[in-house]
Amino acid sequence: MVLTAFCLAYAGFAALSLAMDRHYEDVFRRALTAAHRRPLRAFGWAGLAASFWACATAYGWSYGLVEWIGMLAIAGLVLIWVLTYRPAVAMGLGAGCAVAAPVFAWV
């Protein structure tokens, strides 16, 4: 469940950062429209909520909250580091994490 929580947190943060004008333009070389912004924000918040649910399911509510905050910190730092140097790679990893999270949850 740790990998599931990390992947969901990373994918959520990647979607939320992609919902920002600057990062969207860095990756796609065009302006962000409101039609794209809303689903990206919704997916980002859903990913973070699902990450919390994965931690709470695996460790209980008290320790799961602590584990989730740690996952948020690690996923955020990894995203910031990769997004600084390779924005397209950071978003590709976010998409990969979104696909890999259900696989890790199933295994």
Q: Are 7 and 101 in contact (CB under 8 A)?
A: yes
Q: What is the pTM of this model?
A: 0.92
Question: What SS3 class is residue 60?
Answer: helix
Q: Which domain holds residue 30?
A: 2-106
Q: Are 10 and 79 in contact (CB under 8 A)?
A: yes
Report how far residue 44's alpha carbon sits from residue 90's, in angstroms, rounded to the nearest whole number: 14
Which residues in the chain come in under a pLDDT of 70?
none
Q: Are 65 and 55 in contact (CB under 8 A)?
A: yes
Q: Are 44 and 16 in contact (CB under 8 A)?
A: yes
Predicted pLDDT at 69: 96
Predicted pLDDT at 107: 78
Separation of CA 53 from chain center: 14
Report the percent of the chain where pLDDT is more than 90: 74
Report how far residue 39's alpha carbon sits from residue 36's, in angstroms, rounded to the nearest whole number: 6
Phi and psi at 47, nearest 5°, equal -65, -40
Domain count, the chain: 1
